[in-house]
Amino acid sequence: MANGQIREVLAVAKPVLHELRDRRENSPHIRFELASAWIAAALQFEAYPPSCTRKLEIDGKSQEVFLQFFIEHAKLLNESQGKKILGMNEMMVFDYLIWNTDRHYTNCLVKDDKVIPIDHGNSFNNEEGQTLKFLVADMESELLDGSIPLSMKDNIISLSNPESELGRLLRKKLSGF
């Protein structure tokens, strides 16, 4: 609310609970969307659209949903061929950190020649399946040789230190996963 006025905002909503046969259960994909949003915020990864969870009234029932800010006038990445797109290196580092193996042109938007990554529900995968795993420990050589964009470097180092305030906060938020 700015100056006492309410502003309408468009968002993409994904229900936290989903129907599975005859029961409802938490969607692991939404947990991973939320964890991705927390990590993006901790890294100050500005390309990640603002996201949160909220209770909304849907079909007469109160439901918890994951909301991600809707990016108006954005295009799919493949519609921007031949243009220089800013933020691709940061997105690749972010995807590496969260084990996002599902990055493709339909879950990557472009607006004003800047990349906007969306759809992180299939992140945190490894050989054992849907397990939350955050990769920082093996990045020392990349942090030292300049492969990691400077805008993310200090925050990645801080996240990797369990004694840092940022590292403790993130681990606390992710402890329920």
- The answer as to whether 4 is a domain residue is no
pLDDT score of 109: 93
Residues spanned by the domain of 78: 11-174
Domain presence at residue 6: no
59 in a domain, yes or no? yes
pLDDT of 70 reads: 92
At 111, the pLDDT band (50, 70, 90 cuts) reads: very high
Residue 132 backbone phi and psi in degrees, to 5: -65, 120
Q: Write down the pLDDT at residue 144.
A: 59
CB 115 within 8 Å of CB 86: yes
Mean per-residue pLDDT of the chain? 77
Threshold 0.85, pTM exceeds? no
d(CA 113, CA 117): 13
Residue-wise pLDDT tens digits, 140-171: 555 556 666 666 777 777 777 778 887 777 77
In SS3 terms, 24-92 reads as EEECHHHHHHHHHHHHHHHHCCCCCCCEEEEEEEECCEEEEEEEEECCCCCEEHHHHCCCCCECHHHHH
pLDDT confidence tier of residue 22, bands split at 50, 70 and 90: low
Domains contained in the chain, number: 1
Domain-embedded: residue 2? no
131 confidence band (pLDDT: 50, 70, 90) = very low
Whole-angstrom CA distances from 1 to 10, 12, 36 are 15, 20, 26
CA distances from 143 to 21, 133, 157 (A): 46, 19, 8
